[in-house]
Each structure stands twice: as structure tokens, then as C-alpha cells.
């Protein structure tokens, strides 16, 4: 028999990651409950910068082997590469709870902490803007979603250790070199703009400077005091939503204190609330143009850029809004502006998704996907279903179609996610419940499979897919119980199930299990109690024996293997299948 896992490991070591994925996929098809195989494929996906796929496999690995630290390391890396810092941090911390001395987990957590530093985030904002305006860097970002983050780490290292700049400029990776050169070019432009591009001279030792007291704020002139009064009166009217009257007072304040650009910002706020976006934009831009003439504080300019961004957001010109927020962050990098910017990014993505929606084209792609599926061309079918979902993300049947293709490709975690999405959209879509149950059976999660079938039958009691699926699932449980052994991986999964732990931790249930061990014939008596019947069904569906062996208590056979229930009572089979 071909050892696909070994072939995958060899391909991985040789750097042939696409081949490694194929071998690991075949190994998963043969043994879908082996968490290590999902971990290996996650590593191969990550090496190809396919971090969404790497994350899906890492999550399945953690589900199958919740006590294995490497699964959390895989998950943390994928989340980190996708820019999900908080989730990545939690993944690494969860792994360290299991193995506090695990070096890869500790190193990953340190990397996340560094990337979450405010200075690093400011650098990341600058690099994001640079990449967005540079076509060459945009192409690198398209090829590698983690490119911006990699470039940020390299530049952060360069800033901390300037002696490394020569080494970085000689890096064999052209994408990294081009990014560093582009950044240095931006830095040079900034130097010229601020007048610091002078010929370099050896630094001279400066005598220690005397500490001088900070200069006191100059007292306000009479005109400025009067302007402040007008501004305060305008603010009161603004809060009362009397924007026209507020503008009159702001104009009076500007006449008395024309160098105070915050007054212009207040005027822009009034125009914004009135819906006069053109005047709001014109007021903000005019104020920004005067910044150097009046020597405005950078905090003031940051506020004006934020007002400008708010106006563009109201107009749904999200690109212009993001550009304004980027400039605001260059003036003052603060959490409020970053949060506002993320919200605009979310709105932009939503608008683009909605603009792309076209149910008619979605149906065309679905039909093409169905044709590919009938020809057993499952990768091509999946691509068509992908496009169909983008065109109509609220159609539940598209997700079940893609789940079918993913199942054929043995991408069980992703297929399960699609079934869950279909159910989220339409809880009465019985086909999704049936397909979800089938996937749980493939993963040997019989308890979850029965639950899915039951929910489908609650919607349509005559649905043959759910009826047949449930009977097949019960037959597998019966066959497993009669085999005399329990799959070790399945046993570990069962022991990690909170519901199983609760059942086994119930003292009353422990007494019942002990009596069943002593007298299996008493099963029918206990099945009259619905609570006990439900608990026994749960244990059996999870592959945990109940009667003659009490696998749930961890008793092994003489050969070291765990024993299973030798026979499920027919009465119980009827109860479970009703």
C-alpha cells in the first residue's frame, strides 16, 4: 500500500509543496481522522502562501488533536500571516497552555507581540499606503498576501539595526529588495520636502545643553478671546442642530482669529451635517493648504483630514476617504483614526461585494459547475461554484454544491463550513443538513451526524437523504460496537467532547454504567428513562462502549486494545432511529 504521508513529507522536504499537498490530500482521504495529516497539509499550504487553506487545515487539526501543540502553532502562523493578530495571539496562548515550554509557540507569540507594537503598526500603515500606490509592489502583494507584513518586519529590523541595511539590500528575494528601495525612496522624498537633504558631515560633539523651562502659553489677545466666545456659541447651536446659525458664529470667530484652523474644521463639520459635501471638502482643503502659513499643529491637521475622510465616507467615495485617513495617520497615529479607517475598509469591501452581485450570472456559473461535476472535474467545478457564490452569496444551494465538490476533493473541513453557511442562510434547507450529516460520518463524528440528520428530519420527516443517512450512521455504530475494538483517534475525540465529559462526570450515570457492566441485560430497564437513553445514545455515537466493557472508563482488553459494546439492543436501535 502506498504511504502517501511519507511521499508528502519527502516532497515537502524537497520544496515541492504542490506535490506535498496532493499526497497529503490522498492520505486524508484514506484516513480523515488523522490530525497530523491536516497539520502537514497546512504547512504545505502555508509554504505556498495559501493561508486561508492553511488555516482551515490547522483548525481541523486542532479539532482532531486538541492536546497537540503543533496544531496551535500551525493555526497561529496562518492567522498571523492573514493579519489577524488577536486571533493569532490567542492560538499561540492556547498552545502554550498545553506545553508552556514549546519554543515555536513562544517564538510565534513574540512575533505577534512585536507586530502589535504601535510603532510597528505606524510603519505598517505607511507601507500599506506605499504598496497601494506602487504597481510593482501591488503585484508582489497579489502573489503573496503576507508581502506587506514581511516587508514591515524587514524594515523594522533595519530601523532597529541600521548595520543590516547592506545585508537586506543584497537579499536574494527581489520582492523584498524592491520594497526596501521603494521605501527608501519615499524616505528620501520626505527628507527633501522637509529641507533636511543636506550634504552629510561628520557629527560634531555638542556641549551639554542647559535645561530650560518649557515656554508658557502666550495669553490670548482680546480678539482671540472674543473669537473663543463666538466659537462656544456656535458649538451650542451645532449641538442643537441649528447649523446655519452655528456657521454665522463660526464665521465671526474666523474674522477675529483667522489663523485658528480648528475654526475652519468646525465650519466643515456644520457643512457635513447639512449635507453640503462640496463646501465641507473645499473648507477642509483650503485649511490644509494654509497649514504652513499659520504654522498649524500637526494634531489640528490630523483632525481636519479626519473630517475630510468623514465627508468622503458619507459620499461613499471610500478610496478618497482611505487616502485622507492615511494622511491623518502620518500627522498623528492614533487608535481612533485606525479604527475609523478599518470601518471604511469594511464598507468599501461590502460595496464592492454588493456591486458584484448578479443572481443571473451566479446561476450561469452554477450550471457550469454542475457540468464539470458530472464529468468528475471537481477542481473546475469548485472554481465555478466559487464564482457563483461571489455573484450571489445569499443563495444557500450554492454552498451545498460547493460542499459536494469539496467533499470529492477530500477537503472535509471546508465542505463542512459551507454546509454550516448554507444552514445559516436557510435553516429549513434540508439538503444542507443531510450533507452536513454525511460529512460528519466521513469524519467518524457519528454523534454530530445523528444530530444533523435529526434536525433535517425535524424540517421534513420524509426526507430520504436524512432517513437513509441516519440508518447508515446507526449501522456504522452497530458495526463498530460488534467489532470489539474502538478506533483510538475516535476515542480521543470522544473524550475531548464536553458533552461526553459531562455525562461521564455525572455520579448517577457512573452508577448506571457500572450496573450495566455487571448486568448488560438491564439495558432495556434503563432505556425507559429519556435522560439515560439520550446519554447512552451519545456515548455509543461517539464510539464509546457502554455495557460489557465500559470503554468510557478506560478499561483495556488483554491485548491492550480498548473494548467496545458487544451488541446494541434492538430496542435502543429503534429509539435512536425514530
pLDDT tens digits for 99-123? 888 888 888 887 777 666 656 666 7
pLDDT of residue 369: 96
pLDDT of residue 237: 93
pLDDT digits (tens, 9 = 90+) for 499-526: 777 877 788 878 887 877 777 777 777 7
CA atoms of 273 and 307, how far apart (whole Å)? 11
The pLDDT-based confidence of 479 (bands split at 50, 70, 90) is: confident
Mean pLDDT across 224-250: 92
Map out the domains of the chain as residue ranges: 4-115, 221-258, 259-355, 444-578
Report if pTM > 0.75. no
pLDDT of residue 394: 93
Are 311 and 280 within 8 A, CB to CB? yes
CA atoms of 407 and 254, how far apart (whole Å)? 68
Question: Phi and psi (nearest 5°) for 357?
Answer: -65, 130
Note the CATH number of domain 4-115: 1.25.40.10
Q: Is the pLDDT of residue 198 over 60?
A: no
Mean pLDDT of the chain: 81
CA atoms of 517 and 539, how far apart (whole Å)? 14
pLDDT of residue 539: 74
Same fold: 4-115 with 259-355? yes
Q: Is the pLDDT of residue 402 over 60?
A: yes
pLDDT of residue 566: 38
pLDDT of residue 568: 42
Classify domain 259-355 at the CATH topology level.
1.25.40
Are 68 and 489 within 8 A, CB to CB? no
Can you give the length of the chain in residues?
578
Q: Which of 145-154, 254-263, 301-310 has the lowest mean pLDDT?
A: 145-154
- 199-228 in b/e form (b: 16+ CB < 10 A) is eeeeeeeeeeeeeeeeeeeeeeeeebebbb
Cell of 483: 467489532
The β-bridge partners of 556 are: 562
pLDDT of residue 178: 81
Task: Tell me which residue of 517, 524, 529, 578 sits closest to 553, measured CA to CA.
Answer: 517
pLDDT of residue 499: 77
Q: Which residue has the cell 462640496?
A: 278
pLDDT digits (tens, 9 = 90+) for 411-429: 999 999 999 999 999 999 9
Q: Which residue has the cell 480523515?
A: 32
Are 171 and 158 within 8 A, CB to CB? no
The pLDDT-based confidence of 202 (bands split at 50, 70, 90) is: very low
Name the more confident of 46 and 430: 430
503: burial class by Cβ within 10 Å (0-12, 13-18, 19+)? buried
3-state secondary structure of 173: coil
Cα 508 from chain centroid? 42
The residues near 6 (Cβ < 8 Å, ≥ 6 apart) are none
Q: Is the pLDDT of residue 393 over 80?
A: yes
CA atoms of 3 and 19, how far apart (whole Å)? 14
Amino acid at each position: 500500500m502506498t504511504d502517501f504521508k511519507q511521499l508528502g513529507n519527502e516532497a515537502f522536504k524537497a520544496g515541492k509543496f504542490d506535490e506535498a499537498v496532493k499526497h497529503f490530500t490522498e492520505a486524508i482521504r484514506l484516513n480523515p481522522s488523522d490530525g497530523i495529516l491536516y497539520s502537514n497539509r497546512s504547512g504545505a499550504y502555508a509554504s505556498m502562501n495559501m493561508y486561508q487553506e492553511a488555516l482551515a487545515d490547522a483548525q481541523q487539526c486542532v479539532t482532531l488533536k486538541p492536546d497537540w501543540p503543533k496544531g496551535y502553532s500551525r493555526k497561529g502562523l496562518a492567522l498571523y500571516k492573514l493579519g489577524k493578530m488577536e486571533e493569532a495571539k490567542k492560538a499561540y496562548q492556547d498552545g502554550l497552555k498545553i506545553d508552556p515550554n514549546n519554543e515555536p509557540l513562544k517564538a510565534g507569540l513574540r512575533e505577534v507581540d512585536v507586530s502589535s507594537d504601535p510603532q510597528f503598526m505606524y510603519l505598517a500603515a505607511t507601507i500599506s499606503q506605499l504598496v497601494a500606490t506602487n504597481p510593482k509592489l501591488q503585484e508582489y502583494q497579489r502573489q503573496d498576501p503576507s508581502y506587506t507584513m514581511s516587508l514591515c518586519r524587514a524594515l523594522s529590523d533595519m530601523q532597529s539595526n541600521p548595520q543590516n541595511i547592506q545585508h537586506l539590500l543584497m537579499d536574494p528575494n527581489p520582492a523584498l529588495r524592491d520594497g526596501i528601495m521603494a521605501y527608501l525612496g519615499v524616505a528620501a522624498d520626505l527628507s527633501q520636502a522637509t529641507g533636511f537633504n543636506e550634504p552629510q558631515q561628520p557629527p560634531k560633539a555638542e556641549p551639554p545643553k542647559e535645561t530650560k523651562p518649557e515656554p508658557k502659553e502666550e495669553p490670548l489677545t482680546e480678539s482671540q478671546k472674543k473669537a473663543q466666545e463666538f466659537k462656544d456659541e456656535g458649538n451650542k447651536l451645532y449641538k442643537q442642530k441649528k447649523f446655519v446659525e452655528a456657521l454665522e458664529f463660526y464665521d465671526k470667530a474666523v474674522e477675529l482669529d483667522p489663523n485658528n484652523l480648528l475654526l475652519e474644521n468646525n465650519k466643515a463639520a456644520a457643512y457635513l451635517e447639512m449635507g453640503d459635501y462640496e463646501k465641507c471638502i473645499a473648507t477642509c482643503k483650503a485649511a490644509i493648504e494654509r497649514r504652513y502659513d499659520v504654522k498649524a499643529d500637526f494634531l489640528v491637521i490630523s483632525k481636519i483630514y479626519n473630517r475630510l475622510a468623514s465627508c468622503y465616507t458619507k459620499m461613499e467615495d471610500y478610496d478618497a476617504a482611505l487616502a485622507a485617513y492615511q494622511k491623518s495617520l502620518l500627522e498623528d497615529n492614533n487608535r481612533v483614526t485606525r479604527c475609523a479607517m478599518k470601518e471604511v475598509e469594511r464598507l468599501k469591501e461590502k460595496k464592492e461585494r454588493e456591486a458584484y452581485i448578479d443572481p443571473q450570472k451566479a446561476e450561469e456559473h452554477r450550471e457550469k459547475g454542475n457540468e464539470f461535476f458530472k464529468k468528475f472535474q471537481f477542481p473546475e467545478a469548485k472554481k465555478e461554484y466559487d464564482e457563483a457564490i461571489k455573484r450571489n452569496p445569499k443563495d444557500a444551494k450554492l454552498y451545498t454544491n460547493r460542499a459536494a465538490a469539496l467533499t470529492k476533493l477530500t477537503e472535509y473541513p471546508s465542505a463542512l463550513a459551507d454546509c454550516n453557511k448554507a444552514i445559516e442562510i436557510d435553516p429549513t434547507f434540508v439538503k444542507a443538513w443531510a450533507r452536513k450529516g454525511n460529512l460528519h460520518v466521513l469524519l467518524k463524528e457519528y454523534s454530530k451526524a445523528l444530530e444533523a440528520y435529526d434536525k433535517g428530519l425535524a424540517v421534513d420527516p420524509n426526507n430520504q437523504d436524512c432517513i437513509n443517512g441516519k440508518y447508515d450512521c446507526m449501522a456504522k455504530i452497530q458495526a463498530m460496537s460488534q467489532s470489539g475494538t474502538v478506533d483510538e483517534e475516535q476515542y480521543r475525540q470522544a473524550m475531548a467532547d464536553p458533552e461526553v465529559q459531562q455525562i461521564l462526570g455525572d455520579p448517577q450515570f457512573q452508577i448506571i454504567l457500572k450496573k450495566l457492566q455487571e448486568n448488560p441485560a438491564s439495558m432495556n430497564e434503563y432505556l425507559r428513562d429519556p435522560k439515560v437513553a439520550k446519554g447512552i445514545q451519545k456515548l455509543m455515537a461517539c464510539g464509546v462502549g457502554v455495557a460489557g466493557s465500559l470503554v468510557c472508563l478506560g478499561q483495556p482488553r488483554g491485548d491492550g486494545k480498548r473494548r467496545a459494546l458487544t451488541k446494541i439492543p434492538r430496542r435502543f436501535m429503534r429509539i435512536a432511529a425514530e
